[in-house]
A = this chain, B = another copy of it.
Amino acid sequence: MSEENLLKLVELEEPEHDYHLQEQVGFILRKAHQRHVSIFAAHIADLTPPQFAALAKLRDVGETSQNQLGTLIAMDAATVKGVIDRLKARGLVELSKHEVDKRRLLVNLTAQGRDAIERLIPLARDITEETLAPLSPKEVATFMKLLAKLA
């Protein structure tokens, strides 16, 4: 085939599809996250991952402001408000006003909330384990190290 014909062929071809959505880190990240949420829901039906995160963090740090809690669990102020509202409606957290700084809304676990999170933590371990099950122990270590760098 002549050089001229080769050039024509290239020009007439469909646009190069050398961009593959399924190889992009964002797309795969979204799918991996979806899979995790699905595994979570299969183990813990009555709480979402963000709700669990809020309870688990309150268990760690005790009473904090709503805003501070949001920072700790990587949640927008508007988002954390909704999460806390729903946990409050279910009696798992209680709210109070900060005596000194009147802007702050303090959040804390109720006794029921503490019971719940203590009961759920073993299940959360299973969730982590199942999420990572496709990887060998060595791969898990590598993956977690690299993922942490990206987050």
What string of 1s and 0s marks CB contacts (under 8 Å) between A107-133 and chain B?
000000000001001001101100110
Given A19-B124, A149-B135, verify A36-B25 contact (CB < 8 Å). Answer: yes
- Chain B residues in 8 Å Cβ range of A60: 17, 20-21
Report 19 cross-chain contacts, Cβ distance below 8 Å, ordered by A residue: A20-B60, A25-B144, A26-B49, A26-B128, A26-B131, A27-B49, A27-B73, A28-B144, A29-B32, A29-B33, A31-B74, A32-B151, A34-B74, A132-B150, A134-B149, A135-B146, A135-B149, A139-B146, A142-B142
Complex Cα distance, B30 from A24, in Å, reads 17
Given A17-B60, A124-B19, verify A150-B35 contact (CB < 8 Å). Answer: yes
A133 to chain B, nearest CB (A): 9
Complex Cα distance, B32 from A28, in Å, reads 11
A134 to chain B, nearest CB (A): 4
- Chain B residues in 8 Å Cβ range of A31: 74, 151
Chain A binding surface, main DSSP class: helix
**Residues in A25-55 with C-beta less than 8 Å from chain B:** 25-37, 40, 49, 53
15 further interface pairs, Cβ-Cβ under 8 Å (given A23-B144, A27-B73, A35-B151): A15-B59, A19-B124, A19-B125, A21-B57, A24-B124, A25-B144, A26-B36, A26-B40, A27-B49, A27-B53, A29-B147, A32-B150, A135-B146, A142-B142, A143-B150
